[in-house]
Structure 1
Amino acid sequence: MQDSLSDWEQEASLMADVYRGSLCNLAATGSSHANEGCYYERRAPVRPNIITTAWVDTPNQEFLLSDNNFWAGIFENDPLRQRAWVVQELLLSPRILHLGKRQMIWECYQSSLCELYPGRVPKFIGRIPKKLPLERMIFEKGEDGNDYPVFSWSNLVHSYTSCNLTNPGDKLIALSGIAKLLQESTQDEYLAGLWKKHLPSQLLWESESDQAGPLITAKTYRAPSWSWACVDGRISCPSWKRQCLFINILEASVEPAGFDRTGAVKSGLVRLTGPLTTIELEEMKQYNAQSQYRFRFRTSSNEWHDSAVICKPSSLVNPNELHCLAVNKRTAEGYRDYDCLLLMPTKSTQGQFYRWGLLELGSEDEIHDFHNSETHEWLQYEKSHGQGIYTISIV
């Protein structure tokens, strides 16, 4: 029903059933907009060439000249695949016939084919991504033997946030179909783009290295600051194994904006305990999505640790006084890193913060001074547990 918001919300929440229950999905993959249609004037597919050498020592040798990026060249970069709404449609549909500008492509759980190779794509073309049922594509076996959407969910978020979304308010709604199925299968709780059982590590999302420019915070509220859905830009979610988590999640919840609990939200809260200190930050240089900052800890001997670091802001606000929360320790041979969240107070409730960005402490001096820092008088917290451990909340 056109121009009916309630009908749209109802139907949008059913997209998982629509696409997963389809027999075959016809995709206008080569079209940029609705008026282009599905059929194009196309050049005949170019087959791999046989090259015969004329070398003096070894004449008349035959080599097959083919393009290892063949599949991506005819398919992956077409306009439809750049649209965010289509990400879940392509994942959920069991069979897809792509009508592209170069060739027609067939995808199902048994094979991927094209007009040039209608029977079988030869091995010399290179690896062709195989369409998998959503459960096999997303799940990863955890240490307790259960399946969790960890590593592949990270890949999915990166692919999804790399696509274009006409209406930014659809950020969570356009992914709700996949979220529903995963929530049912894992019995995990979906929280505005993150998963509760793995929330401590998933809070450490950041701008992807190929992100052009800074992340842009949404003009109108669509997710809490601790969710990647509150910003626009390419997102990288951590997928490595957590080695030592410093924080303990006490409470995590979101309030849906409508009846769909995996769709749009109107509020969200994470309440936790962890090591917290104050930090002074001054921007020095900017490299695309990354900025180099000079940061300072005040040590217990009233001295200053001064160092230059790379920060990844998720906010365009540029405060110089922040709170630094150590979330995770990564260790490897010869070094250890701390992954920290940088937070700024909401100034509405004591001990309540917005997520500002991400900071990595990589030197022994930085880590030592973090643990021995003398906090400023503007330190905020809900409750102190001693030894630098506090209870706070992030909204």
Structure 2
Amino acid sequence: MAPLNLRGWVLQERILSKRILHFGKTQMLWECRELQAAETFPNGTSYDGSRPRGIKSLEPYAPGPLEKTDPGDKPDPRFWAYNLWTGIASAYCKCSLTKPEDKVLAIMGLAKHMNGLIKDMYVAGMWRTYLASELAWRVGNYKIMTPSAPEIYTAPTWSWLSKNAEITCSTVGDKGIRLRVKDVELDYATKDPCGPLLGGRLYLEGILRRVKIHRKPDRERMSTGAWSLTLPDCPPLAEVGSFEDLVYLDTFPKNFDAENENGELFCMELVDDVEFWATLDLLLLKCEDKEKGIFTRVGLSCTHDSRKKILGDRKRMPELPFSWTKGDVAHKV
């Protein structure tokens, strides 16, 4: 990929422009919403005869001269635009910005375009209607980029915009959702709902349990397999199954000893993948204010079928009231 296309501000300009002519080292390339072509492949760059869905495919089922017409290949129209957005967001997180505080601004034009397309409320890099499923984003590819939080406030901890990291956004849907988003409150820096934020809160209703997060001494801390979960009502996964927990931390502390000792860590059931992988996604949270039920997000965990049978007891009541805050020292409630 050309170095220019790795810049954060360039991404939205490339996607929103109707047509682009790329000048490569050996040939020119064409890109629009119907076709990607090059001098060596003037009819399109796909090898199987289908129209490649490129980075500029911003409209559902935009006609193209090489597109297959099999209606069975079309995704659920309810989620098409939402999942297009998650793909854009994942690509954006791989790009670099000279000023990290530009993170919201450099994608604002795309957010406005999508807002006009799907007619939904923009919520700190996500969308209100299927927000519960979008919360299952995770930090990934630690070897390329060490995840960190911006020095200048960008977004609440439940938003992927709050992290300087490569992000894998979740598939948007409405199946297997194990919590309910009761309300969202955002404090805007301007009158633009797609613009910079000063703070935000998310109110959730679901199954909340205490949890401890431990680092495995024989693993490098900046890896998915370096951390494990312990739940009071669930034995370690190694004792009941053959799969390890996958723990994706948003940033990397040395350990969670103080949080474990003080009982500050919790998990909340998020999405039960009942169709493909038989996994249950858990939000990993730190309690900032027990009386007011204020939490910040610390990561995401994926647990397999052996624990799901124990975690699936929905008769248990939440231990605390629940809300999100923006994650800085002076919490807004």
Q: Which moved more, 1:101-110 or 1:120-129?
A: 120-129
TM-score, normalization by structure 1: 0.67
Partners of 1:223 and 1:266 within 8 A in 2: yes
Give the direction of change, closer, same or farther, for the CA distance of 1:269–1:122 in structure 2 (3 Å limit). Answer: closer
| 1:100-159 superposed Cα distances (whole Å, 9 cap, x missing partner) | 333332323454444556x54587698774665523389x9886x646532222211111
Q: Which moved more, 1:283-292 or 1:246-255?
A: 283-292
Among 122, 132, 155, the alignment partner of 2:87 is 155
Tell me, in whole angstroms, the C-alpha distance in 2 between the residues paired with 1:133 and 1:123: 15
Length, aligned pairs only: 298
- Aligned positions of 1:183-262 closer than 5 A: 183-209=115-141, 212=144, 214-239=146-171, 241-262=173-194
Higher RCO (Cα < 8 Å, 6 or more apart): 2
Bigger-Rg structure (1/2): 1
- Aligned positions of 1:1-395 closer than 5 A: 77-116=1-40, 120=43, 129=52, 132=56, 134-136=58-60, 146=78, 149-209=81-141, 212=144, 214-239=146-171, 241-284=173-216, 285-286=219-220, 288-299=222-233, 305-307=235-237, 309-317=245-253, 318-319=255-256, 320-321=259-260, 322-332=265-275, 336-347=278-289, 350-364=292-306, 366-370=307-311, 387-389=316-318, 391-395=321-325
Tell me, in whole angstroms, the C-alpha distance in 1 between the residues paired with 2:99 and 2:305: 43
| 1:259-296 superposed Cα distances (whole Å, 9 cap, x missing partner) | 32212111111101100010112111237442432322
Tell me, in whole angstroms, the C-alpha distance in 2 between the residues paired with 1:177 and 1:201: 24
Partners of 1:207 and 1:289 within 8 A in 2: no
Give the direction of change, closer, same or farther, for the CA distance of 1:349–1:260 in structure 2 (3 Å limit). Answer: farther
Higher strand fraction: Structure 1 or Structure 2? 1
Partners of 2:134 and 2:172 within 8 A in 1: no
Gap runs ≥5 in structure 1: 1-76, 374-385
Give the direction of change, closer, same or farther, for the CA distance of 1:137–1:260 in structure 2 (3 Å limit). Answer: farther
Give SS of 1:149's match.
Answer: helix
**Counterpart residue identity of residue 276, structure 1:** L
Partners of 2:202 and 2:324 within 8 A in 1: yes
Deviation at 1:192, TM superposition (A): 1.1
Q: Which moved more, 1:147-156 or 1:272-281?
A: 147-156
Gap runs ≥5 in structure 2: 63-72, 238-243, 326-333
Tell me, in whole angstroms, the C-alpha distance in 2 between the residues paired with 1:311 and 1:105: 41
Match of 2:69 in 1: none
Identity score, percent: 25
Tell me, in whole angstroms, the C-alpha distance in 1 between the residues paired with 2:203 and 2:45: 53
Alpha-carbon RMSD: 3.2
Give SS of 1:229's match.
Answer: helix
Give the direction of change, closer, same or farther, for the CA distance of 1:336–1:128 in structure 2 (3 Å limit). Answer: closer
| 1:55-111 superposed Cα distances (whole Å, 9 cap, x missing partner) | xxxxxxxxxxxxxxxxxxxxxx11111111111111111121223333332323454
Tell me, in whole angstroms, the C-alpha distance in 2 between the residues paired with 1:363 and 1:147: 27
Partners of 1:217 and 1:316 within 8 A in 2: no
Give SS of 1:218's match.
Answer: coil
Tell me, in whole angstroms, the C-alpha distance in 2 between the residues paired with 1:88 and 1:345: 36
Partners of 1:200 and 1:249 within 8 A in 2: yes
Tell me, in whole angstroms, the C-alpha distance in 1 between the residues paired with 2:126 and 2:21: 32
Tell me, in whole angstroms, the C-alpha distance in 1 between the residues paired with 2:161 and 2:8: 13
